[in-house]
Chains A and B, each alone.
Chain A
Amino acid sequence: MTDLTPVLSATWDAQESWKLSTYEDHGGYRALKKALGMDKADIIQAVKDSGLRGRGGAGFPTGMKWGFLPPDDGGPRYLVVNADESEPGTCKDIPTMLSAPQVLVEGVAITSFAIGCNHAFIYVRGEVTHVYRRLLQAVREAYAAGHLGKNIHGSGFDLDVTVHAGAGAYICGEETALLDSLEGRRGQPRLKPPFPAVAGLYARPTVVNNVESVASVPAIIDRGVDWFTSMGTERSKGMGLFSLSGHVERPGQYEAPLGITLRELIDMAGGIRAGHQLKFWTPGGSSTPIFTDEHLDTPLDYESVGAAGSMLGTRALQIFDETTCVVRVVTRWTEFYKHESCGKCTPCREGTFWLTQILKRVEGGQGTEADIQQLLDTCESILGRAFCALGDGATSCISSSIQYFREEFEQHIAEGACPFDHSAAALFDYDAPAKATEEAHA
């Protein structure tokens, strides 16, 4: 049995947990003061030694990313926090910023000091008004307390932080698209190289890190590398927020060491909703290949999930029981990617469009046996050929669902209709409307 390890979430139930005074009462900004007395290289080394890997999905080692910045040439260098949380199923950064925005601000201050940045940006998705209010206040309070601004705590280090609201575009979670968006452009990914470490924001050296990665830094500095590496597995160190959603009794945020299993998490969540069984799930959001009940004991760390054919991603565990039509879910995810494709590259722009056409046909019972192969062929034409990871991600749910549930696709085709009653999967009772009505609204 793995214990839960609330670190980032430890203060979420405190009175006015989002206020600076609450955060300081719980030891907040101790790490910043410690860091300001350290050598910058030692901070970077500590983060490298901690084994912290990017918590935004890709899992790239955070300290190594910082280390890629070229030597200081006297010009500006930037830290940009990716708070554009939009991957379907992912819902960890929003509660972090709503309940404990100061841990992010402290992480920003330490990271900026370590990499030699004097102006950091937090790019938060625009569709979360109250989260944006909390961030604006957190930064304002941190300035007033001298944690940001000029000559922070007498160290000679200056830092400005700008909280920037996006305007509705999933693609801006891709780091180079985010940078273009932050520069006031359409959010389209850039050709790499050059990587942001060399030419990022305003073509200057830039680190782009996820909210949870940056928020993990204060605890690593405060409590030390040994404490952090005592959690997790051999190559996946530390804790992370595991977000359970869907058909479980108690969905929500479970902060645990990497390597915990879904079986343990579902157990803590009170099981699959009463009277039902697990059918399929995502380990890390809709862009990661789906898993089934075969994978209940797969340790949720980068290596084990990868070896089992998926990705740890953002630890967004979307749980679906046997009442769920996998074709319907996959069709809807694919419509998401079609909607969010930026249109820059052909495989993704055209591919997601055609995948949606074919999937809607299959889901509606008008598909043919050849459609299944067509779906797989189209996925193959996108995978590895798209400009950024959005295109690759769009294919994951399709190829994996055909791998595990091919007969369900065939059943739609053979029966000429979806064999599922959609109302059975809903979390409330309702009288299913006639199919025709439902489709008219789809």
Chain B
Amino acid sequence: MTYDADTLAQLRKDADEILDRYPVKRSALLPLLHLVQSVDGYVSPDGIGFCAEAVSLTSAEVSAVATFYTQYKRRPNGEYQVGVCTTALCATMGGDEIWRQLSDECGVGHDETTADGKISLERIECNAACDYAPVMMVNWEFFDNMTPDRALRVVDDILEGRDVKPTRGSNKVSTFKETERVLAGFEDGKVDEDQGVGDPTLVGLKIAREQGWEEQR
């Protein structure tokens, strides 16, 4: 491993905290892989070695797990992971066209990163926000009800170094590495940030209230 002493010390401290959450060591592997992505921006050879040591597996066994899951990246990832949902419903509602225009704008295809390292573009599968179709995710925050223009503005903001704000989620999208640290189970203090609940989430409740059907708990 080529981590410097400080990085390694922090990694070990974090890894201990992760390992403490589980009765069996190996269960810590998925969060540990998120953790190494928060340091290296991908699952690096060093990261695999670190995880292997932490959970007493071989590096081959860790690689076998890492390659199964799409969120673990095998090459240095962009600072922002931009995913356009092109599963059937979003694709039909306009996701395919959004994808086409974003891919043109960024000059990269699926699972590719812009030369400046800002954006990794991905065609993603259903992200459980179908009532907000077409959906785009940036570092796994929701960008709902997208149009090509709105999506292009988000991408241009990222390319020009401006902050971007999801439609449901935190006040500002964190970087890929910061997001991966959250996914490793470390809170980042952004939990109470809120862009409001979208109309589709509340539509049924609103009708029930208007009609006086509401069930009181």
Contacts and interface: CB of A to CB of B under 8 A. Distances in A.
A is bound by B = yes
B203 A253 contact: yes
11 contacts: A11-B217, A90-B126, A129-B174, A136-B191, A162-B22, A168-B71, A183-B26, A245-B89, A246-B133, A251-B132, A430-B94
B94 A256 contact: no
Contact of A426 (B23, B64, B93, B125): B93
B93 A253 contact: no
Interface string A301-322: 0000000000000001010100
Nearest to A188: B68
Interface in B171-217: 174, 179, 182-185, 187-188, 190-192, 194, 197, 199-208, 211, 213-217
Interface residue tally on B, bucketed by range? 35 or more
Interface residues of A, number: 102
Interface of A: 3-7, 9-13, 16-19, 26-27, 76, 85-91, 93-95, 98-99, 119, 125-130, 132-134, 136-137, 140, 162-170, 181-187, 202, 219, 222, 242-247, 250-256, 268-269, 286, 316, 318, 320, 324, 328-330, 332-333, 336, 339-340, 342, 422-423, 425-428, 430, 433, 437-438, 441-442
Given A136-B185, A425-B93, A437-B100, A12 B205 contact: yes
A86 B140 contact: no
Nearest to A428: B147
A3 to B, nearest CB: 4
A206 B99 CA distance: 42
Nearest to A423: B97
Nearest to B127: A127
Contact of A88 (B89, B100, B214): B89
B75 to A, nearest CB: 16
B168 to A, nearest CB: 7
Contacts of B182: 129, 132-133
Nearest to A319: B89
Interface stretch (B2-10, B28-36, B112-120): B28-36
B128 A433 contact: no
Contacts of B91: 328, 332
Of B34, B94, B187, B199, which is in contact with the most chain A CB atoms at under 10 Å from its CB?
A: B94
A425 to B, nearest CB: 5
Contacts of B130: 88-91, 243, 245-246, 251, 316, 318
Contacts of B202: 12-13, 252-253
Nearest to A93: B128
A13 B68 CA distance: 38
Contacts of A7: 215, 217
